[in-house]
Structure 1
């Protein structure tokens, strides 16, 4: 079984079309179909059902899709670790980053890792929250950052740091007459909401706030994949958007005014999610550095 066969199959499983898949992997449709047939013969199972010009995954194909993803991830991780070892690294950490979290504290943390433990490679892998949970369960990452607080029993979460939410408002918007903005006021205006899949943590936090205060959700003007796209849409006048104070410092826009929310809106918490099992020495030291970075900001 060759690695290219796995990649070909995953592309076909995504496109459900040999012609589109062939265009993506830059080969003709005929050799691509032949490669999938060779894979089916080797596995002794039909992976694809071809009927009336349509392609569907069989149940065996559904199962193999997950296994193929695991194998490719494992091989890519092995290649990365070997390359890191060749460059002189003695340890490695794979850290997932979900919810489009671009954070000044994360920058400080990674800088401290390089300064204090230069022989441990720290790889940051951006992924949606649901993929991060799967990657943790399959030992594809060692830990992951998220603002989503609800995890299964097999996981534990540690508070990394907290942030005050704020509101991004277009210039000349009526909400700018307020010094602090409440959820009740926001509910009357169109909202740029974080995407429910690409930024699930931010999406779930905002919906929970309105639910806890028994407020109707504002009308959703657009979904944003992260803070930067949210600021762009706010600047264009599509609506208002929630932001973290720390991220506002990184992404500024001349056509957006930032207002604090009222004090009754709780802080947003960033968690480090981990499997409930013993940590490696590198991961234990990584957690200690997170605590130091958070404490330094409080003091």
Structure 2
């Protein structure tokens, strides 16, 4: 079974069109179709239903899509590990990063890992919360950072640090008359909000606040993937933004003023999520360092 054929199949499964899939891999549709037929012949099953130019996955195709992803992830992991060994590393950690959590504390954590354990390679992979759960389950990552508060069976979430929420406000906005912004005032203004799919942790957390205080969810002018585009749109007057104080400070903009929320709004916890199973020594040390960086006692 050729790795190239697995990649071809996954692209066809994503596009559900041989023409679009062929354009992505820069070959003609005919050889792409033949490669998929060769794969089907080797497996002895029909992976795709082809009808009048339309393509649909069979149930066997749905199952094989997951297996193909797992095989490619395994091969990529093997390649990465061998290359890391050739560079002198003796250990490896694969860490998922969701909700655009490029925080200053994470920078300090990674720097400390390089200083204290230079022979362990730490690889950071950006992903959504749903992708993180699947990646942990398929052994594609060892742990993942998220602000999503929901607990999931089979997984362990440990708080590594907390942060205060902050409100990004355009200049000359009436909210600037307040030193601290209550949620009731936030609810009265149009929001620029993190994308519910790409940053589901932050999105769900914000919705839970408004639900807890029986406030209507404000109107949303734009969804963004992180703090930088949020600050740009706030500066342009599209609305106000809600973010982590440590991150909005990094995205300083001359036309945006940052105000803290009132003290009744809870801190935002950043969790490190792992499978509920014995962990490697490298991962235990990584979690301990993360908690120390966050000024929390190790669990």
Give per-residue Cα distances to partners, 1:12-65, cap 9 Å, x unaligned.
Answer: 111111111111101111100000010111111111111122111111111111
The 5 Å alignment of 1:164-243 reads: 164-243=164-243
Match of 1:38 in 2: 38
Q: Partners in 1 of 2:63 and 2:241 — Cα distance? A: 40
Match of 2:151 in 1: 151
How far the C-alpha of 1:296 sits from its partner, in A, is: 8.0
The gaps in structure 2 that reach 5 residues or longer are none
Match of 2:294 in 1: 294
SS in 1 for 2:123: strand
How far the C-alpha of 1:177 sits from its partner, in A, is: 1.4
Pairwise CA RMSD: 1.1
TM-score normalised to structure 2 length: 0.97
Match of 1:142 in 2: 142
How far the C-alpha of 1:151 sits from its partner, in A, is: 2.6
SS in 1 for 2:81: helix
SS in 2 for 1:295: coil
How far the C-alpha of 1:90 sits from its partner, in A, is: 0.3
Aligned residues: 297
Quick check: 1:247 aligned with 2:242?
Answer: no
Runs of 4+ in 1 over 3 A off after TM superposition: none
Quick check: 1:89 aligned with 2:89?
Answer: yes
Match of 2:129 in 1: 129
Alpha-carbon contact 2:13-2:57 (below 8 Å) kept:
yes
Match of 2:117 in 1: 117
Match of 2:105 in 1: 105
How far the C-alpha of 1:249 sits from its partner, in A, is: 2.2
Give per-residue Cα distances to partners, 1:132-169, cap 9 Å, x unaligned.
Answer: 01111111111110000113120111111000000001
Alpha-carbon contact 2:192-2:238 (below 8 Å) kept:
yes
Q: Partners in 1 of 2:160 and 2:9 — Cα distance? A: 39
Q: Partners in 2 of 1:140 and 1:212 — Cα distance? A: 36
The 5 Å alignment of 1:12-91 reads: 12-91=12-91
How far the C-alpha of 1:230 sits from its partner, in A, is: 1.2
How far the C-alpha of 1:171 sits from its partner, in A, is: 1.3
Give per-residue Cα distances to partners, 1:233-278, cap 9 Å, x unaligned.
Answer: 1111111110111102211111111111111110000000011111
SS in 2 for 1:159: strand
